[in-house]
Amino acid sequence: MFGGLVLQGKKSMIKNLTILLVEDDDVAAESVMRSLRKVEPAIKVNWKQNGQLALDALREQDQSGRIAEPYLVLLDLNMPVMNGFEFLEQIRLDIKLHDTVVFILSTSNEDSDRTRAYHNNVAGYMVKSSIGPQFAKLAKLMDAYMNAIELT
């Protein structure tokens, strides 16, 4: 699991990263995956439609959707079965998953949601409508993030 973040100077680390996309909207999920692949065609994206499916994959209860390390999570908040906040609470309580890097990707622009997310130690909070057409800013952010740090 992640022991922390370390600055690094390596180029194009995003291709070595697995992104766990937790999103119930098919159109949004496809747009995110397409945008990320424009930045790095070899990127690995594992898409789960709700927090419970994502949690099962992280805990290796779902062998078909096992998540390779290093990884980070792009998490929607409003989903059926297990929403994003419930997912965050579960991983922060799990000793093996506690340090997981999570970025929120939500339609909610509510200060209360943003505050609640940051209290659960998210790395960032992005409002879908502010990310630009086809999630272009998201892909650039992920690329810049992975070129600046090392997940250990």
**Residue 44 in this model has a pLDDT that exceeds 50:** yes
Residue 19 Cα distances to 27, 48, 71, angstroms: 17, 11, 5
Residue 125 has a pLDDT of: 92
Q: Does the model's pTM come out above 0.85?
A: no
pLDDT higher for 25 or 3? 25
Is 7's pLDDT higher than 50?
no
pLDDT tens string 53-74: 999 999 986 566 567 777 889 9
Q: Which fold has domain 14-146?
A: Rossmann fold (3.40.50)
**What gap in Å lies between CA 56 and CA 63, rounded to an integer?**
9
Q: What is the rounded radius of gyration, in angstroms, for the C-alpha atoms of the chain?
A: 14
Q: How far is CA 46 from the centre of its chain?
A: 10
Classify the C-alpha dihedral 46-52-58-60 as positive or negative. Answer: negative
The more confident residue out of 20 and 150 is: 20
DSSP string, the chain: ----EEE---S-GGGG-EEEEE-S-HHHHHHHHHHHHHH-TT-EEEEESSHHHHHHHHTT--GGGPPPSSEEEEE-SS-SSS-HHHHHHHHHH-TTTTT--EEEEES---HHHHHHHHHTT-SEEEEGGGS-GGGHHHHHHHHHHHHHEEE-
Q: Averaged over 71-86, what is the pLDDT?
A: 95
Residue, of 45 and 12, whose pLDDT is higher: 45
- pLDDT for the residue numbered 24: 95
Handedness of CA 89, 93, 95, 96 (dihedral sign): negative
Q: Which residues contact 79 (CB under 8 A, 6 or more apart)?
A: 22, 23, 24, 49, 50, 51
Domain locations in the chain? Answer: 14-146
pLDDT in tens, 83-137: 999 999 999 999 999 999 999 999 899 999 999 999 999 998 988 877 766 566 7
